[in-house]
Amino acid sequence: MLAGALGLVASLQAAEVAPLLAEVEHLLPQVEALRELPFAHAVPVFLEDPDQVRAHVIADAAEPEALRQLEALRLSLAAFHQLDRRTDLGAVVADVLTDQLGGYYDPEEIRLVLVRRGDTFAEDAIGEGSEEAMVAAHELVHALQDQHFDLWTLHHRDFRSSDAEAATVALVEGDATYAMLRLTLGDRVIGLDGLDEATFHEAFVRGQLEGPYEDPVARLPKPVRDGLFAPYVVGTAFVRRLERLGGWAAVDGAFARPPLSTEHILHPERWLAGDDPPLYPVLPDVSRRLGPGVTLEVDDVVGELGIRSLLATRGLGEASAARFPAADGWGGDRYQVYRDGLGRTQVVWRTLWDTEADAAEFAEAVGALALPPGRARPPRRARARQRTGTWTVDHAGREVVVLVDVPAILASTVLAAVRGRPAVALVDLDQVSSPRPEPRKVVAPSAIDAAP
């Protein structure tokens, strides 16, 4: 990886490299001053072409853990009827990342990489508020995060909850995005104060879909697109709220005690109050109850942000909490995907809610997911059938259990096995993740510094 970057930079003319280096050096003290954190050491900077970025994306995706996570995501989306089972999700995501990345910070090799697209880094393309300056500022904040909060270890936790992982990503990306906007837009960032989350989200996604790389983004299934872009949107709102209340020290404190769910990100006041911990419901392995040859394949958490995305696929909500009453009031959830020898899937999903009214609202909304287009409400017993299978929604008190493609003859047996089980209150990240210590690679001197 380093050899390719060094080879590329060595071939560049000094006149082409100098503006980029000058821009990064110009931004360094500004990033320090804004973020109120000093750089402990220099940040190596490299240039890469899109082909090199794609090669790195593909190589990273081929790692065993990445393959496992991608297959779990693909299987989960297909099991919830959100993805065509034939979709090559890895290829689509690789296309998007290749076309969308303007740069990235690599915590493994402790280096900042900026992507060279044609004349992107020609001298007349660099300037205050330019897209290139925004990318560089964003990635420099990630470098600061790594030096002060050990981004490497945070990224390499073994998460057992995708929702907790999404909350961590939202904190990291929200910090970098908010600081980038403050730094490069200056006083113009005040205009963001008038944007609610829905408007900000719509503007962000519209900008992605209407940009020069429209096709790859448009090809992403909505839940995947939300998973990629939403952390930047809701994370920025979360960090902005913290910075307003307690300055950048409050944001630093979030890295010391990370939010444990996307509910914390979406509702910072609940996280700050500390009296609404997410619940991690106990779910037994019911594979034997589902039939011979059935195995448990995925055990994970959807979370409030994931529920928003799920409901939005049927037009049951928009981007803001005000338009997502059925997702608000989330207390905790956990789902399992089972698969038989023919590749057919079944889902057992247990959700807990803050109040009985919240649970009833969610039960009605999720029941509508199974209805044919044009049907407004689920039947009274919240069991609906469509050509792709059966959804059973069982509501009792503050608990809602959802079964997807579990045969009706087995539903009562499965429900009896999972209903009313205890749940664990999450108060620490170690409860749903554990560090996976891996050594960092030795970093070469900055390729930019070594350029003519």
Q: What integer pLDDT is reported at residue 132 of this predicted model? A: 76
For 66-91, write each residue's pLDDT tens digit. Answer: 788 888 988 999 899 887 777 777 77
Same domain for 146 and 184, yes or no, is: no
Same domain for 144 and 267, yes or no, is: no
Is residue 439 a part of any domain in this protein?
no
Q: What integer pLDDT is reported at residue 239 of this predicted model? A: 93
Same domain for 363 and 253, yes or no, is: no
| The residue count for the chain | 452
Rounded percentage of the chain residues whose pLDDT exceeds 70: 74
Same domain for 267 and 178, yes or no, is: yes
Secondary structure (DSSP) of 244-275: HHHHHHHHHHHHHS---SHHHHH-HHHHHHT-
334 and 281 in contact (C-beta within 8 Å)? yes
Q: Which domain holds residue 296?
A: 279-425
Lowest mean pLDDT among 143-152, 313-322, 343-352: 313-322
pLDDT confidence band for 207 (50 / 70 / 90) = very low
Residues in CB range of 66: below 8 A, 6 or more apart: 60
Is residue 433 a part of any domain in this protein?
no
For 284-316, write each residue's pLDDT tens digit. Answer: 999 999 999 999 999 999 999 999 888 877 554
Same domain for 209 and 289, yes or no, is: no
For 229-271, write each residue's pLDDT tens digit. Answer: 888 888 988 998 899 899 999 999 999 999 999 999 999 989 9
Q: What integer pLDDT is reported at residue 317 of this predicted model? A: 45
Query: Can you tell me the distance from the alpha carbon of 375 to that of 367, in angstroms, rounded to the nearest whole number?
Result: 11
User: Which residue, 305, 48, 116, 119, is CA-closest to 201?
Assistant: 305
Is residue 431 a part of any domain in this protein?
no
Is residue 16 a part of any domain in this protein?
yes
C-alpha pair distances (Å), 379 with each of 180, 337, 363, 369, 371: 49, 25, 11, 12, 9
Same domain for 313 and 221, yes or no, is: no
Q: What integer pLDDT is reported at residue 119 of this predicted model? A: 53
pLDDT at 350 over 90: yes
Is residue 379 a part of any domain in this protein?
yes
338 and 406 in contact (C-beta within 8 Å)? no
Q: Structurally, how many domains does the chain consist of?
A: 3
* Main-chain phi, psi angles of 118, to 5 degrees: 60, -120
Q: What integer pLDDT is reported at residue 17 of this predicted model? A: 56
Query: Mean of the pLDDT values across residues 332-358?
Result: 96
Is residue 441 a part of any domain in this protein?
no
Q: What integer pLDDT is reported at residue 62 of this predicted model? A: 77
DSSP-assigned beta bridge partners for residue 114: 47, 103
Same domain for 414 and 334, yes or no, is: yes
Query: Mean of the pLDDT values across residues 189-195?
Result: 50
Q: What integer pLDDT is reported at residue 56 of this predicted model? A: 79
Query: Mean of the pLDDT values across residues 180-192?
Result: 67
Q: Which tokens in the block code for residue 88?
A: 């090559």
Of 219, 246, 276, the one marking the end of a domain is 276
Q: Which tokens in the block code for residue 426?
A: 């999450």
Q: What integer pLDDT is reported at residue 395 of this predicted model? A: 94
The enclosing domain of 408 has a CATH number of 3.30.200.100
Secondary structure (DSSP) of 142-206: HHHHHHHH-HHHHHTEEES-HHHHHHHHHHHHHHHHHHHHHHHHGGGGGGGGG--HHHHHHHHHH
Same domain for 176 and 193, yes or no, is: yes
Same domain for 338 and 412, yes or no, is: yes
Same domain for 7 and 144, yes or no, is: yes
Is residue 430 a part of any domain in this protein?
no
